[in-house]
Amino acid sequence: LLRAIAQAQEARHARLLVACASPGGGCLLDLNRLLPVPAGLLAWGPDHGAALDWLDRHWGTREAVRQIDLQETRDPRRHSRRRLRFRFWMLDGRPATLAASLLRAWPELEVTIRSLELPGG
């Protein structure tokens, strides 16, 4: 059963990646748009040590975030503001690293992190 669930999740993720890559598809949480990888590192390729180190330091992961869910609500403290709430999975990731990088880029951002540990993991 776990294998079937994992395969279904991988298939869903693959479909989402194709949709995001298609013209006008867009990705809900595109880390490269928010925190772009420097062009010089991109030229070296995805497996180059310096590129992998940069991803670890700035994104907290070497993989794209998965299963992105977006919810939009009104800020209860300020009705003129809206809140966007992203829920996502990171494969071997450190969301605190990503949050710190986002806050450096956009100091006015408010970030709350809740990590969930998977059973047995």
The closest of 113, 62, 71 to 92, measured between CA atoms, is: 62
Residue 6 maps to a domain: no
DSSP letter for each residue of 58-74: HTS-SS--EEEEEEEEE
Tell me what pLDDT residue 91 has.
75
Residue 5 maps to a domain: no
Residue 18 maps to a domain: no
3-state secondary structure of 82: strand
For 96, the domain range is: 27-105
Number of domains in the chain: 1
Structure-token pair, residue 86: 């992203």
Residue 20 maps to a domain: no
Residue 77 maps to a domain: yes
Tell me what pLDDT residue 58 has.
92
Is the CB of residue 29 less than 8 Å from the CB of residue 65? yes
Tell me what pLDDT residue 106 has.
87
The closest of 62, 121, 70 to 97, measured between CA atoms, is: 62
Tell me what pLDDT residue 104 has.
92
Tell me what pLDDT residue 117 has.
67
Residue 48 maps to a domain: yes
Name the stretches of the chain with pLDDT < 70. Answer: 13-27, 75, 78-82, 117-121
Residue 17 maps to a domain: no
Residue 66 maps to a domain: yes
Tell me what pLDDT residue 26 has.
64
